[in-house]
Structure 1
Amino acid sequence: MIGSLLRALGLALPLVALPAAAEIYTYTDSQGNRVFTDQPHKGATRVPLTPSNRMSANPHGQAPKPSVSKTTPRPGPIFHYQMVRVLVPDPDATVRSAEGNLIVSVTSEPGLQAGHGYRLLLDGKPTREAGTSPVFALENIDRGTHQLAVEILDEHGRIAERTANQPFHMVRMSLSQKRQAKPCQLADYGQRPECPLADKPKEEESSILPFL
């Protein structure tokens, strides 16, 4: 009986000797090795420890609340359109504009679905964020050949449809060319960019002397 009691006390003593909350320190020794110890050491820093999983997570005896999954539902399959194309300009069209401006119109069949948007690409780069308007106003396009394409993005930002590249040719007329195509009239000076006021011809003075 006494022997059993002594053995029980012997097993309990090491548990009593353990600190309630052990501290762990770390430092680098002279050989450059990282050392971890439970004894304070000069130049050592304390390592923060997470609570042990043996500690009660509910000290007041209340029943733990069931965890609620907050996973985002996976998006459904992509909706596909029967047809998407650029209406204006026509394929391989030549556009003449002194300012390099162009109006682009697109269409789809069926019509744009809820949450979807058109995005126009000029030479492979988006001209603006996707939107519901099928009309795009482009400005200051460089002279030369360019490529247009249109994409439809769904509500998750996925590309539902995309057209092939469609070429067009921008011809930016000079002011002199515009004056040749449509000569300036007196009323045009100061009104048309190619007809500045400085170029307005002086009105001929009347050769009839005023009556004295």
Structure 2
Amino acid sequence: MPRLLFCLLVGLFCLPAHAGVYTYIDAEGNRVFTDQPPSEKAQRVEIAPSNKMAPTQAPPAAIPAYPTTRVEPAYDVLRILVPEPDATIRDAAGNLIVTASSDPSLHPGHSFRLILDGQPAGEAGRSPVFPLENIDRGTHQISVEIIDSQGRIVERTPSQPFHMKRISLAEKRRTNPCKKGDWGVRPECPIADKPKEPRDIPFVPFI
């Protein structure tokens, strides 16, 4: 009962200040509070004015300023043209020229960079052509990146494999034999390997 009485008091005191609150003793001897007097015996309860403050309007949230520097657009296409994925390169010296292409073309301040087996191969530059020399036999992975002036990667192709098969000079000569004018001209026909020509023996008449 005391808890119920307390709840009634709280509910009534939360009424607007202009609403009337009355109390009386009912037939069972209980104290009752109400906003409507049931009879003239009900007594009005004076409620102290509320200390509720009017809500203050929150200041508008600050609108972030847009960056003044222009953000470079992404590249639609970046791909390796040569070699094709999983290509087999046959070169006695292990040489290869990697060629890439981008769309749109390279933006100012950007550079191409070749990645060979997870490491940069040579210096980055504006040219998408990368000559490689003396690549070891076996399978290698290449990819091409576009980097900005701070070295951050802007775009990168997927890594793709190629297979280097370094043919010996003897194998190349067997495939395409060296002719008289090839010695000292073709790499597989060094002048040191040129066979000696037979000497012309002068004809001596038999007497």
> TM-score category by the smaller chain?
0.5 to 0.7
Deviation at 1:131, TM superposition (A): 1.1
TM-score after normalising by structure 1: 0.59
Deviations 1:141-197 (A, max 9, x none): 001111110110123321111111011110100111111111111222233333233
TM-score after normalising by structure 2: 0.60
Match of 1:129 among 97, 103, 123: 123
Identity %: 58
Deviation at 1:210, TM superposition (A): 7.2
Distance 1:156 1:77 in 2: 15
Distance 2:149 2:155 in 1: 13
Distance 1:146 1:74 in 2: 43
Deviations 1:85-133 (A, max 9, x none): 1011111111111111100110111110011111110011101232110
The answer to whether the Cα contact below 8 Å between 1:86 and 1:150 also exists between their aligned partners in 2 is yes
Deviation at 1:137, TM superposition (A): 0.5
Match of 1:190 in 2: 184
Give the partner amino acid of 1:125.
Answer: Q
Gaps of 5+ in 1: 1-72
Give the partner amino acid of 1:122.
Answer: L
Distance 2:202 2:122 in 1: 64
Match of 1:146 in 2: 140
Q: Secondary structure at the match of 2:88?
A: strand
The answer to whether the Cα contact below 8 Å between 1:147 and 1:167 also exists between their aligned partners in 2 is yes
**1:109 to 2:103 alignment:** yes
Aligned residues: 139
Q: Which is worse superposed, 82-91 or 190-199? A: 190-199
Structure 1 residues 110, 93: CA separation in 2 closer, same or farther (over 3 Å shift)?
same
Gaps of 5+ in 2: 1-66
Give the partner amino acid of 1:190.
Answer: G
Deviation at 1:80, TM superposition (A): 1.4
Distance 1:160 1:77 in 2: 12
Q: Secondary structure at the match of 1:151?
A: strand
Q: Secondary structure at the match of 1:177?
A: helix
State the superposition RMSD in angstroms: 2.3
Distance 1:178 1:159 in 2: 41
Match of 1:178 among 155, 172, 176: 172
Structure 1 residues 207, 128: CA separation in 2 closer, same or farther (over 3 Å shift)?
closer
Q: Which is worse superposed, 73-82 or 105-114? A: 73-82
Match of 2:76 in 1: 82
Give the partner amino acid of 1:79.
Answer: P
